[in-house]
Each structure stands twice: as structure tokens, then as C-alpha cells.
Chain A
Amino acid sequence: MSVPSETFKSLVKAAAEQVIASAPELTSLDQAIGDGDHGTNMKRGCEAVLGKLDAISAQPLDEAFKMIGKTLVMTVGGASGPLYGSFFLAAGEALSHDKDLPDDLADVFGSAVNAVSARGRSQVGEKTMLDVLVPVLETLKTAAGQPDLIARVRSTATEAAERTAPMQATKGRASFLGARSVGHVDPGARSSCVLVHAVCAGLEARA
């Protein structure tokens, strides 16, 4: 499967714009259980990606992913920079240089998720972005090739983000709150959900 550069560009643009539009919500979630900067940090990073969008989409897909990752690392300014940055850097590493997309998309996504886990020294169940990314990876594996794959990925992300609300955080600033972190959706899980939804919507619009 190959991805025309215009399609890639419009997906990146839609994802960045969705995150920017969600910044107030992400900030408000982070004010409840963190330091309240997740929205502004992600907005800064996504604006930087939009600023380089032409240069990014002119690259082969693997280099484009790495460029997105590096841009986020250099501009986000919070822990989410290296975490999302590592996701895209690892995805770029997992893509081969000569092909556009591998047969097994879940392999690439899995490498990216593993990089987030390693960078954050975190596992699923600790009330983080991994609590969305790991279930999405599972759906990518189990529903691969199914006609309703995109719809299933979307509902997986929605449900997984909601499931972080009753969790008690054991990683990141939210863990300082102990039991008081229960009852709030994790901001990182929510931003991951926003990104997944934006890509799903973009792919559906082109289907």
C-alpha cells in the first residue's frame, strides 16, 4: 500500500489541528490531576509540525515520521514531547526507506508504542497515554483487514480513554495525587485518543 504525499499531508494537518482545537480540554484535564500544561505544550508542538508541514510531507514516509518526532521533541517542552516524539521516531525507524507502508501496519504501531513504554518506563494500567495506545494496537492486530477496522479503532480509543478515569495514576505528576487522581480522564490518554480519532476521520473521508 502506498500513501500519496497529499494524503499523508492532509492526515498530519488534520491530526495537528485537532490537537490544537482540543488544547483547552487537555489543559483542563491536566489542571485536575497534573501541572496544567498538557494542552499548551501539545499545541506548541503541533503548531511547530504545521509550520514544517511542507518540508515534512516532501520526505519519504520514514523520514517524515522521524521529522515529526524530532519536531515534537524539540518544541513541546513537557514530558509529552519525548513521549510522543519517541512514538514518531520509532515509527519512522520501523518503516523501511524503500517502501511506503509495510504489509503489517500493527508492527509499525507496535514499535512506536514500545518506544513510548520504554521512554516513560511505564506499562498499561498506570493511567497514561499507553492506556489508549496499547488497546488501539490490540485492535489493529485483531481487526486487521476487516472492513470495520477504522470504526473499531475509533471506538477502542474512545472507550480506552474513558477507562482511565477510574484508574489511580502511578506514573507522572498525577501519581503525586495518589487516590485523588481517581475520577479524572488522563490528559495524555485523551490526547492520544484525539490523535487516533483525527487519523480515523481523515482516512474515512478518503475511503
Chain B
Amino acid sequence: MIETVGIVIVSHSSDIAKGTADMVRQMVGTEVKVAFCGGNPDGGLGTSVPLIIDAINAAWSPKGVAVLVDLGGAETNSEMAVEMLEPARRDLVVVCNAPIVEGAVMAATEAAGGSTLAQVKAVAEELSAD
């Protein structure tokens, strides 16, 4: 089995995070490691740095991990989570500037073909291009 880039989905809503992960798995099955998290540390709408760190580690691949986020706080908390990873992992995680659902499905599909982290990120971010 080839190594593939892992995918992490970070939403303010755990329902959206889980639903997005379901849509990703429909496309790529178990070929790609997918982890998701949503909700603040009390379980309300929001995001949580410890949960994001756990999700990144759960989806870990030597080829790296692409993180898909929804709104502002999810992005800021994901960037913070990346900085708090062990040093060897930090440079192998990217936060994509892409719509969360479409970005996650496109990124995972690209990853399933064995693409590099940069290629996976580029495909997701094409969705945000003008």
C-alpha cells in the first residue's frame, strides 16, 4: 500500500466535521487517513487546539497532513496547533485555504493517487482561486 497524505477536517461544528469526513470516505474509502474534529473544549460551537493536535497525529503520514478548515477561528487554532506539534512534524502539515467540504473531498482524492503534500494543497486551493 502506498503512503498517502493524511487529511484533517476542522470545523466549528462537530456535525459538519463528521459529515465532511463521511463524504471524503465515500470517495477514498480507507486509502487515505482522515481525521476530524469540531467544537470548542466544552463541546459548543468552536474549535479546540488539543483536539486539532490529536486529529493531526491520528491522520499522520510520513508524506504529511493537509488540514481543511471552515471559518477564522478554525484557521487560527489550526495554525497554532501546527506550531505546537513536535518539531519534526511541523513542516509536514499545511492548512489549506479552501472551502472545507469541497476542499477536503478534492484534497483526499488527490492524496489517494499518491500525490505530494504540495500537490494536495494546490488542488484544494484551486477551489479558492479567482
A-to-B contact residues, CB < 8 Å = 35, 37, 40-41, 44, 73-75, 77-79, 81-83, 85-86, 119-120, 172-173
B72: chain A residues within 8 A (beta carbon) = 79, 172-173
Contact A37 to B44, CB < 8 A, known contacts A73-B49, A79-B72, A81-B77: yes
Contact assessment for A85 and B45 in the assembled complex, using a CB-CB cutoff below 8 Å: no
Most chain B CB within a 10 A radius of its CB, from A37, A77, A172, A173: A77
User: Looking at chain B's contact residues, is the secondary structure mostly helix, strand, loop, or mixed?
Assistant: loop
User: Looking at chain A's contact residues, is the secondary structure mostly helix, strand, loop, or mixed?
Assistant: helix
A74: chain B residues within 8 A (beta carbon) = 41, 48-50
Contact among B42, B71, B79, B84 with A77 in the assembled complex (CB-CB below 8 Å): B42
Contact assessment for A173 and B41 in the assembled complex, using a CB-CB cutoff below 8 Å: no
Contact assessment for A77 and B76 in the assembled complex, using a CB-CB cutoff below 8 Å: no
Q: A141 CA to B44 CA in the complex, in Å?
A: 41
B116 to chain A, nearest CB (A): 26
A78: chain B residues within 8 A (beta carbon) = 40, 46-47, 73, 77
Contact assessment for B76 and A82 in the assembled complex, using a CB-CB cutoff below 8 Å: yes
Contact assessment for B42 and A79 in the assembled complex, using a CB-CB cutoff below 8 Å: no
Could you give, for residues 44-77 of chain B, a 1 whenever the CB lies within 8 Å of some chain A CB and a 0 otherwise? 1111111000000000000000000001110011
Contact A85 to B41, CB < 8 A, known contacts A77-B46, A79-B73, A173-B72: no
